[in-house]
Amino acid sequence: MRFLLGLTGSIGMGKSTTAAMFVDEGCEVWDADAAVHRIYAVNGPAVAPLGEIYPQSIRDGAVDRMALKAIIAEDSDALKQIEAVVHPLVAKDRNTFKESATADVLVFDIPLLFETGGDAAMDAVACVSVAPDIQEQRVLARGTMTREQFEMIRAKQMPDTEKRARSDYVIITDTLDHARAQVHNIVKEIREQQSNA
């Protein structure tokens, strides 16, 4: 029997790094952000339907994310229309992964897992977390956004305290070794439960 583990956490908490640790433990990981990139790519399944609604969102045969952001900023109804196209395609991508994966533990890396109600489809949820000052340092060190942009994103996401409270496991990502040890223990615990079931 396969175990479905949701992996979530706010921006800058170390989710991508932690997801790679699950791969090292023999799990297979589905990444929601990577799925969006796939469906937006040249000839991806989102290109034609989004091109019909918003022709200006297509550039060089692919969906231009910056153009989508600009459309959403101008039109308050745009996000709902875009999500109506994108969400079913992402769900289809996720189901394809589930059908083809062979590992005993499947990890679903979904930033907005709780916000979208995706936790209901999981056997358990692990949340990555770190102190707010470390979170801010990590995000600003990337050099891709200002402190104001970071604060805006953080304000839109479910508070870290709430995510941790709703999760079955919390992975503190203060150091790589600490995070790796916690991931190892979680996978070990899941496999022991599976073998005793």
What integer pLDDT is reported at residue 168 of this predicted model? 98
Q: Are 9 and 69 part of one and the same domain?
A: no
Write down the pLDDT at residue 50.
96
C-alpha distances in Å from residue 41, one per residue of 36, 59, 70, 111, 157: 9, 10, 19, 20, 26
> What is the tally of structural domains in the chain?
2
Q: Is the pLDDT of residue 197 over 80?
A: no
Identify the domain boundary among 81, 102, 123: 102
Task: Name beta bridge partners: 4.
Answer: 106
* CATH at 42: 3.40.50.300
Looking at the fold, whether 42 and 109 belong to one and the same domain comes out as: no
Q: What is the mean pLDDT of residues 6-12?
A: 95
* Dist. CA 69–CA 72, nearest whole Å: 5
Give the domain range for residue 98: 33-102
**Res 1: pLDDT:** 78
pTM of the model: 0.90
If asked whether residues 170 and 131 sit together in one domain, one would say yes
| Predicted local distance difference test score (pLDDT) of residue 155 | 85
User: Using only C-alpha atoms, what is the Rg of the chain?
Assistant: 18
Q: Taking residues 2-14, report their average pLDDT.
A: 95
